[in-house]
């Protein structure tokens, strides 16, 4: 009994120090000047632009990486061969290296000093210091999430259900849609949510490729950093941070509600 | 026309899992592939089902060479050892899957699924999910799902392997009855000789990727072609240097032999005897027979053939 109390106490203190106190102070400081000041701050054109750019980026990045992630997961879990192992390792690189490195590499590849930058510019496509670069950087850093949450599930589910469907006459697409994907949908969803949250919060890679142009290529995390570090607009930084945290919390709550509903539907089935 | 396997082999790397199998499986019958694990019986089943590709050899089902035909078009019903239920679909949707793939009208699917669920006695579970079924129920659902497409051949991989003893024997007699009613050509893989003897009309004994013997169950039991088949189909012992079934021996009170041990397994009693010649043998008696002899461990007895 004593051990259990000690464990609970440790966990509580840990959470308080790491999460509770910082978020608490964030709330207190944000609201110190009153609700109207907060509203004025988050409704300023630069703040609104930053939120919109962040959400638009996520709207492109999450669906795209979910599709690519499903494809890569199927290759990694269902195919064999040396190139599959290479793919397996490559997918992890974005989480293995610092996002700053990803940002720098993207600049090297796609700015005018890089191989493709000039060619792309001649086509009228500006990658670096533009939303296109932000999307590319976000795609790169969020590539692993769907793959890492889906591959273990695919392996655990195995191929028996797919073979059963095939002997019953189903073709590859029908097997994918009606058997494989439904059995790993929570892995895919979880990965997509993590990718969404990472896109919202990504700082390093995006900072380098975006060029940090206020009202143009500033995502929400960069807006927060800029308010804090350059403009000494602490309220702007606090309010932005709170907004970012709020979006994340809402998404997590929706996910957990969906999972609870599913669990009720399939009483005591493994999810 | 039956199922014909000719020169069928399967190699993984260097080792042959199935080596040069030639077999003719009669139509409308229930055939059991019997063998220990690693004997290649499941691989043979998977090759017939199109789930494994043979390294060499041909497979002909009812006159049609299906060796290069995808599992999708083979017209077989395959039941996996772990049943492979579609976990996210209700029982009714599982059973109707093959029909909906074939584009059967919804109304007809509903009717067929209803009939099949009645056949496998799952009518009251139509809207449940596989996770809410017992092992035996899941097995029956898998069977209904395979039967729904009215396959030419039904392939069953260790159908009772994962079930407890009571459900196992219940399901066994149920399957026997079902087969007698439907007469679908059925191939069943098992390592349980009792199950195979009970269900099969033809028995195929496999060992190390090869077929050892094919025949009617009693024929194989009474005239095994070699000592492997003999010992795999049931217990054996030595009597006067000859391998014999222990139920073909009897003990009678007083004589030159000595009872060294008695194992009481309930209905079956195993009596270990050291004979005057020094030969170790054992006798299998039923409980009533054993109670009649009134022998105990250490008694002097005589053992003889029935």
Residue A267: band (very low, low, confident or very high) from pLDDT cuts 50, 70, 90? low
Cβ <8 Å between B78 and A174: no
Residue from B48, B36, B43, B51 nearest B10 by CA: B43
Q: Is pLDDT above 70 for B65? A: yes
Is there a single domain that holds both residue A8 and residue A42? no
Cβ <8 Å between A164 and B149: no
Is there a single domain that holds both residue A60 and residue A19? no
Is there a single domain that holds both residue A10 and residue A73? no
Length of chain B: 306
Q: Are B301 and B252 in contact (CB under 8 A)?
A: yes
Is there a single domain that holds both residue A26 and residue A40? no
Whole-number pLDDT of residue B145: 96
Cβ <8 Å between B97 and A168: yes
> What three-state secondary structure class fits B139?
helix
Residue B151 structure tokens: 């396959």
Listed in sequence order, the residues at least 6 apart from B267 whose beta carbon sits closer than 8 Å to its beta carbon are B286, B287
Could you please report the per-residue DSSP string of B140-204? HHHHHHHHTT--SEEEEESTTTTS-HHHHHHHHHHHHHHHHHH--EEEEEES-HHHHHHH-SEEE
B51, B66, B72: best to mutate for the A interface, most A CBs within 10 A: B72
Is there a single domain that holds both residue A69 and residue A142? yes
Is there a single domain that holds both residue A158 and residue A232? yes
Q: What does the pLDDT average to over B204-232?
A: 95
Residue B257 structure tokens: 């032999």
Listed in sequence order, the residues at least 6 apart from B162 whose beta carbon sits closer than 8 Å to its beta carbon are B81, B82, B135
Residue from B138, B289, B23, B256 nearest B271 by CA: B289
Is there a single domain that holds both residue A5 and residue A65? no
Is there a single domain that holds both residue A231 and residue A112? yes
Residue from B183, B181, B198, B189 nearest B118 by CA: B181
A33-47, A250-264, B215-229, range with greatest mean pLDDT: B215-229
Q: Is pLDDT above 90 for A214? A: no
The CATH number given to whatever domain includes residue A52 is: 1.10.3720.10
A-chain CB neighbours of B148 within 8 Å are 168
B-chain CB neighbours of A185 within 8 Å are 88
| Gap between the Cα atoms of A76 and A90, Å rounded | 11
Is there a single domain that holds both residue A103 and residue A164? yes
Judge residue A227's burial from the number of C-beta atoms within 10 Å of its C-beta, 0-12 exposed, 13-18 middle, 19 or more buried.
Answer: buried
- Taking CA atoms, A55 is separated from A47, A61, A65, A102, A189, in Å, by 12, 10, 15, 21, 18
What is the pTM for the complete model shown? 0.86
Element (H, E) at A220: helix A220-229
Is there a single domain that holds both residue A202 and residue A248? yes
Q: What does the pLDDT average to over B204-216?
A: 96
Residue from A18, A32, A62, A15 nearest A199 by CA: A62
Q: Which one of A161, A169, A171 has the shortest CB-CB distance to B86? A: A161
Listed in sequence order, the residues at least 6 apart from A183 whose beta carbon sits closer than 8 Å to its beta carbon are A153, A157, A161, B86, B87, B88
Is there a single domain that holds both residue A11 and residue A52? no
Quick check: B102 contacting A, CB < 8 Å?
A: yes
Element (H, E) at B252: strand B249-264
Structure confidence by residue, pLDDT tens digits, B243-285: 999 999 999 888 899 999 999 999 999 999 999 999 999 999 9
Residue A135: domain span: 35-270
Q: Is pLDDT above 60 for A269? A: no
Is there a single domain that holds both residue A87 and residue A125? yes
Q: Are B204 and B44 in contact (CB under 8 A)?
A: no
Q: Is pLDDT above 50 for B210? A: yes
Structure confidence by residue, pLDDT tens digits, B282-291: 999 999 999 9
Q: Are A256 and A248 in contact (CB under 8 A)?
A: no
B-chain CB neighbours of A182 within 8 Å are 86, 88-89
Q: Which one of A161, A168, A179 has the shortest CB-CB distance to B98? A: A168
Q: Are A25 and A234 in contact (CB under 8 A)?
A: no
How many separate domains does chain A show?
A: 2
Listed in sequence order, the residues at least 6 apart from A166 whose beta carbon sits closer than 8 Å to its beta carbon are A175, B50, B70, B71, B72
Q: Are B275 and B237 in contact (CB under 8 A)?
A: no
Whole-number pLDDT of residue A210: 86
Residue from A162, A234, A224 nearest B97 by CA: A162
Residue A217: band (very low, low, confident or very high) from pLDDT cuts 50, 70, 90? confident
Q: What does the pLDDT average to over B205-218?
A: 96
Residue A27: band (very low, low, confident or very high) from pLDDT cuts 50, 70, 90? confident
- Taking CA atoms, A251 is separated from A185, A190, A192, A197, A247, in Å, by 17, 11, 11, 8, 6
Sign of the torsion angle spanned by Cα atoms B215, B219, B225, B228 = positive
A80, A159, A164: best to mutate for the B interface, most B CBs within 10 A: A164
Residue B210 is given by DSSP the state E
Structure confidence by residue, pLDDT tens digits, A129-149: 888 899 999 999 999 999 999
ipTM of the prediction: 0.89
Q: Among all residues of chain A, which has the CA nearest to that of B151? A: A168
Q: What does the pLDDT average to over B166-176?
A: 89
Structure confidence by residue, pLDDT tens digits, B26-43: 999 999 999 999 899 999
């Amino acid at each position: 009994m004593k051990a259990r109390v000690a464990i609970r106490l440790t966990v509580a203190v840990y959470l308080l120090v790491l999460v509770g106190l910082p978020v608490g102070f964030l709330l207190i400081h944000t609201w110190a000047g009153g609700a109207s000041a907060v509203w004025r701050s988050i409704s300023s054109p630069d703040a609104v632009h930053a939120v919109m750019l962040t959400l638009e980026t996520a709207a492109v990045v999450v669906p795209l990486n979910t599709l690519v992630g499903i494809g890569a997961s199927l290759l990694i879990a269902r195919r064999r061969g040396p190139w599959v192992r290479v793919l397996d390792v490559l997918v992890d690189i974005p989480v293995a290296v610092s996002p700053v490195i990803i940002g720098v590499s993207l600049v090297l590849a796609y700015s005018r000093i890089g191989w493709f930058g000039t060619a792309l510019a001649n086509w009228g496509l500006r990658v670096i210091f533009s939303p296109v670069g932000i999307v590319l950087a976000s795609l790169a850093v969020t590539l692993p999430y769907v793959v890492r949450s889906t591959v273990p599930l695919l392996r655990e589910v195995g191929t028996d259900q797919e073979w059963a469907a095939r002997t019953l006459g189903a073709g590859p697409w029908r097997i994918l849609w009606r058997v494989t994907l439904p059995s790993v949908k929570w892995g895919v969803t979880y990965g997509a949510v993590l990718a969404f949250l990472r896109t919202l919060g990504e700082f390093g890679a995006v900072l380098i490729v975006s060029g940090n142009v206020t009202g143009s290529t500033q995502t929400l995390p960069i807006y927060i950093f800029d308010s804090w570090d350059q403009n000494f607009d602490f309220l702007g930084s606090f309010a932005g941070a709170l907004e970012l945290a709020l979006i994340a919390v809402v998404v997590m709550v929706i996910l957990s509600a969906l999972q609870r509903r599913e669990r009720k539907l399939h009483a005591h089935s493994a999810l | 026309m039956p199922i014909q396997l000719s020169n069928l082999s399967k190699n993984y790397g260097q080792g042959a899992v199935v080596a040069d199998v030639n077999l003719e499986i009669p139509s409308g019958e229930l055939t059991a592939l019997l063998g220990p694990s690693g004997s290649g019986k499941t691989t043979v089943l998977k090759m017939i089902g199109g789930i494994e590709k043979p390294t060499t050899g041909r497979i002909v089902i009812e006159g049609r060479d299906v060796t290069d035909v995808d599992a999708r078009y083979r017209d077989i019903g395959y039941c996996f050892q772990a049943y492979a239920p579609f976990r996210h679909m209700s029982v009714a949707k599982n059973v109707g899957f093959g029909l909906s793939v074939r584009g059967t009208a919804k109304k007809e699917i509903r009717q067929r699924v209803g009939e099949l669920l009645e056949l496998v006695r799952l009518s009251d579970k139509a809207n449940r999910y596989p996770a809410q079924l017992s092992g035996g129920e899941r097995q029956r659902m898998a069977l209904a799902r395979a039967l729904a497409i009215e396959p030419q051949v039904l392939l069953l991989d260790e159908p009772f392997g994962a079930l407890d003893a009571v459900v196992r024997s219940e399901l066994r007699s149920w399957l026997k009855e079902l087969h007698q009613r439907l007469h679908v050509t059925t191939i069943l893989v098992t390592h349980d000789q009792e199950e195979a003897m009970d269900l099969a009309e033809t028995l195929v004994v496999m060992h190390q990727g090869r077929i050892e013997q094919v025949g009617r169950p009693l024929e194989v039991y009474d005239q095994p072609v070699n000592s492997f088949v003999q010992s795999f189909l049931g217990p054996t012992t030595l009597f006067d240097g000859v391998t014999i079934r222990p139920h073909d021996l009897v003990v009678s009170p007083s004589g030159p032999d000595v009872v060294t041990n008695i194992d009481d397994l309930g209905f079956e009693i195993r009596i270990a005897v050291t004979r005057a010649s020094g030969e170790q043998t054992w006798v299998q008696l039923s409980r009533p027979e054993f109670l009649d002899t009134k022998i105990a461990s250490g008694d002097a007895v005589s053992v003889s053939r029935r």
